[in-house]
Amino acid sequence: MKADEIRKYCLSKCKAEETFPFGPVPICYKLNGKIFAQLYPFAQDYKITLKCPADLGDFYRQIYPGQVVRGYHCPPVQQPYWNTIFLADFPNHELQRMIDLAYDTVLHSFSKKKQKEILMHP
């Protein structure tokens, strides 16, 4: 996927927003103030870091060795919960599935009441 397609896909999620808390890069996608994706859109370093449950993060790292790695920028205690995906030649359908997982992981980190509020008021 191209960077503009990733952007559109992330922003198609209910109440997702694009922010720049660290400067122009990474471009962060948040739900209710929590980051679920961080996009690095430049060709020389084209990657995305996505939130994930630890077990699924490890699964993706085993399936795509070298292309999916622990969140490179995270402190070691947080690394199992973030995957960095190098996007050159990465399957689009798999990336969309991983973005969905990242969004859902953050959504489900909120209370049931907050989840309902997020999903009921687009």
In order of their start, the domains of the chain are 3-111 (3.90.1150.30)
Chain Cα centroid distance, residue 103: 7
Answer whether residue 42 shows pLDDT above 90. Answer: yes
pTM of the model: 0.94
In tens, the pLDDT along 58-106 reads 999 999 999 999 987 776 777 789 999 999 999 999 999 999 999 999 9
Judging by DSSP bridges, how do beta strands 68-70 and 82-86 pair with one another? antiparallel
pLDDT at 122: 58
Helix (H) or strand (E) holding 40: strand 34-40
